[in-house]
Amino acid sequence: MPVECTLAELARRCGGELRGDGDTHIHGVATIQRAVAGSITFLANPHYRRYLRETHASAVILAPADAGACRIPALITSNPYLLYARVAAVLTPAAPVRKGVEAGASVHPTARVSMDTWIGPGAVVEEGVVIEGGVSVGPNCVIMADVHVEEHSCLVAGVTLCHGVHVGKRALLHPGAVIGADGFGIANDDGVWLKVPQLGSVVVGDDVEIGANTTIDRGALEDTVIGNGVKLDNQIQVGHNVCIGEHTAIAGCTAIAGSATIGRRCMIAGGAGIIGHIEICDDVTVTAMTLVTHSIRKPGVYSGSMPMDAAAQWRKNSVRFRQLDELARRLATIEKKLKD
């Protein structure tokens, strides 16, 4: 249920420099084009600056560079989108967690489920499960044997936690997420594939968000690890024994092959591919549709992919592509000498 605050109260609670009438009443958030009286909007992308003079919002969150063009009360900040996120959380607080076990849910007698937990209709909680206080297990979720879910985490609906998975505090798992299915471990026996037992599990840290239909495979021997504060978008594949460092964010349709290690505070854009058994250091940004084929050991922004070719030729071209800058410099030097 939305709440109402004055602009001054929002400034006090969320930050930002108040400009204009602090008694302005705010009861919702909206885009700059569709805002109405009583709502607050934000300007973070310069492409939307042209709407600033036309907006019907009662207040706007913006950067100091845009404040001169603003005719309505405002909160001024160096990071408008971050302040908007804080304001939106104040104005639209999360609904209180329900309690109890709904009709149609199945909870094994050996499961230890806090009295403060809600188990939705159609949910299944198997033997040896531990669910701590304030957890919400939505409709049709399946929590297999020996899973542990810590305080105030939320499984929205249709989430599957396979056996032995550990989910930390305040995690948010969106519909269809599957955590702890077997990794893709197979060995070739004269053209016939033999399944390799997947004996590890998945450990999900605190304050992690996992998007709809994202899958995180259990480890082959050791655990797959998702660090504190990691944010995963929809339809991401995380292979077995992958480790993702704290506060890394990964956009939709990215595929991460087994045993890759991704550092802290990385940003991986949509549709990226990361091959197995490589390491990406802290503070790396990978742009959309990039194929990461070797370890990255220096922070920075990385891009690139190449068209398909016969594998041997592709490898040769890939090596030469990485030498293009050096070759171009050498060619320029030779041309200069010839001209002289």
Chain segment 255-276, per-residue pLDDT in tens: 999 999 999 999 999 999 999 9
* Segments in the chain below pLDDT 70: 1, 307
| Region class of 184: left (phi > 0), else alpha (psi between -120 and 50), else beta | beta
240 an active-site residue?
A: yes
Query: Architecture of 5-91 per CATH?
Result: 3-Layer(aba) Sandwich (3.40)
Give the pLDDT of residue 163: 98
pLDDT digits (tens, 9 = 90+) for 122-173: 999 999 999 999 999 999 999 999 999 999 999 999 999 999 999 999 999 9
Instruction: Please tell me whether residue 26 adopts helix, strand or coil conformation.
Output: strand
| Active-site hit among 56, 240, 247, 294 | 240
Which of 20, 22, 25, 21 is closest to 40 using CA atoms?
Answer: 25
Please provide residue 304's backbone torsions phi and psi, each rounded to the nearest 5 degrees. 135, 150
Using a cut of 0.75, tell me whether the model's pTM lies above it: yes
Give the pLDDT of residue 109: 97
Domain(s) labelled CATH 3.40.1390.10 in the chain stretch across 5-91
Give the pLDDT of residue 318: 83
Which H or E run contains 89? Answer: helix 80-91
Query: Architecture of 100-302 per CATH?
Result: 3 Solenoid (2.160)
What separation in angstroms does the CA of 146 have from each of 131, 166, 239?
10, 9, 22
Domain(s) labelled CATH 2.160.10.10 in the chain stretch across 100-302
Give the pLDDT of residue 94: 81
Give the pLDDT of residue 1: 64
Give the pLDDT of residue 245: 98
